[in-house]
């Protein structure tokens, strides 16, 4: 019975249109286009600065990277702040 429930849940989570907001890959650019603002920058020891983006009561922490030869700053990943 557990295998059937696990299979149904797995299928539901991978079905198109059922993905949650956390499963979608957010970037600094996509958040800015959605009306978020950068409210803080956080230095880290891993050389990838963190940016805190906020829109009303919703906030994300994003880590970005760049190199001297890169044309843009790229998003490593973003996570919602709860």
The pLDDT score that the predictor gives to residue 34 is: 97
Q: Among residues 65, 60, 66, which one has the least CA distance to residue 78?
A: 60
pLDDT of 17: 41
Is the pTM higher than 0.85? The answer reads no
- Quote the pLDDT of residue 44: 87
The residue-averaged pLDDT of 46-71 equals 92
| pLDDT tens digits, 12-56 | 334 344 334 445 789 999 999 999 999 999 998 877 899 999 999
Closest CA to 75 of 55, 58, 56, 36: 36
Q: For the chain, give every domain's residue range.
A: 20-81
Cβ neighbours around 28 below 10 Å, total: 20
């Amino acid at each position: 019975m557990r295998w059937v429930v696990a299979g149904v849940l797995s299928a539901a989570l991978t079905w198109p249109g059922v993905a949650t907001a956390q499963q979608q890959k957010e970037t600094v650019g996509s958040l800015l286009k959605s009306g978020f603002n950068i409210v803080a920058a956080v230095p880290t020891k891993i050389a990838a600065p963190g940016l805190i983006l906020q829109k009303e009561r919703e906030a994300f922490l994003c880590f970005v990277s760049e190199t001297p030869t890169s044309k843009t700053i790229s998003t490593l990943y973003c996570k919602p702040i709860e």
